[in-house]
Amino acid sequence: MDANRLSQGQLIAAISAIALFIISFLPWFGISGGVVVQGVGAVGGSTNFSLWEAENPLDIYLMIVILVALVPAVLALAGGAGDAPLAPFATALLAGVGTLLILYQVFDTPGDADRKVGLFLGLIACAGVAVGGYLSMQEDVGGERY
Amino acid sequence: MLGGRLSLGQVIAAVGAIIVLVASFLDWVGSGGVSGGTVTGPGGASVTVPGVSGPSFNVWEIPGSVLDVFIVVAGVVALLPALLAFADAAEEFSFVSAATFVLGVVGILLVVAFLTVDFPGEGAERELGAYIGLAGFLVMAFGGFRAMQEEVVAGEI
């Protein structure tokens, strides 16, 4: 496989998508609190949730974004880049909406849970996928390839 | 007024968007509740106890869900050609039909996942609103696909 077959936009989208997949397993939300146990005293504790553990359709949505972003790269590496003309547009659109959805979660966390590092890294990675998709669209119009 | 500016695909997509937006205010998740019955007391006296329905939630009330935001984004995109036609605006966006199709397909996948593998809560029940929402996304995706084909035939792409 030759990575030079990928355009700059496809490369950015694919790397960001892989990063987003890895980040999805980091803690995105956390619940911290303490309980008073008789005879023991106050016992504190916190539980963190990855994207997949939080009851939220965002995991399914971001999985779709990751797959859509990786498809053009895989097709390009396989030598069939012309088989998915809608892919760069779909990548840019879905990742753009995904960035909006993660941003919404930053301000409106489920059940007043704490924001964890995965949420912010996921936001950056999803924005990276959107930028890569947009650049890929521009390259398709201009006919540029690295 | 609108018939001249909107293609059939755009009209179908707009109808699908309205169905989804209306469905978002119907109940999607219900907690079942307790069914009624007859309680027989000492001496044979019986009392009929009415059933009590549990709380139900529409898309906007499901805690932590992003489906509501997605529905608004998809609905606005699908309704954009109709809104521009209503406003008699000269702008036309070539990407709207493709965006409607893509968002409609992803909406179908999200609602199917919501109804199957990603349903929130234990013991909760699937309500009618979720199925109407799914039907709305199907209509929206079909309308977007048809509008794309109509644009190709008209030589606009």
- pLDDT per residue as tens digits for the range A53-106: 877 889 999 999 999 999 888 887 877 655 677 888 999 999 999 999 999 988
A143: pLDDT strictly greater than 60: no
CB-nearest partner of A60 from B73, B118, B121: B118
Residues of chain B with Cβ-Cβ distance to A111 below 8 Å are: 63-64
Say if A64 is an interface residue toward chain B (CB within 8 Å). Answer: yes
C-alpha span between B74 and B102 (Å, rounded): 9
Domains of chain A: 8-141 (1.20.140)
Cβ atoms < 10 Å from Cβ of B50: 9
Rounded mean pLDDT of chain A? 83
pLDDT tens, residue by residue, B42-85: 555 665 656 566 778 888 888 778 899 999 999 999 999 888 88
CB-nearest partner of B98 from A54, A89, A110: A89
Strand intervals (E) in chain B: 29-30, 37-40, 46-49, 56-57, 125-126
Can you tell me the mean pLDDT for B95-113?
93
SS3 assignment, position A41 = strand
pLDDT tens, residue by residue, A14-55: 999 999 999 999 999 888 776 555 555 555 677 888 888 877
C-alpha span between A119 and A96 (Å, rounded): 16
Predicted pLDDT of residue A146: 40
Can you tell me the mean pLDDT for A128-132?
95
- Which amino acid does the sequence have at B70? F
Max mean pLDDT range (A95-109, B80-94, B142-156): A95-109
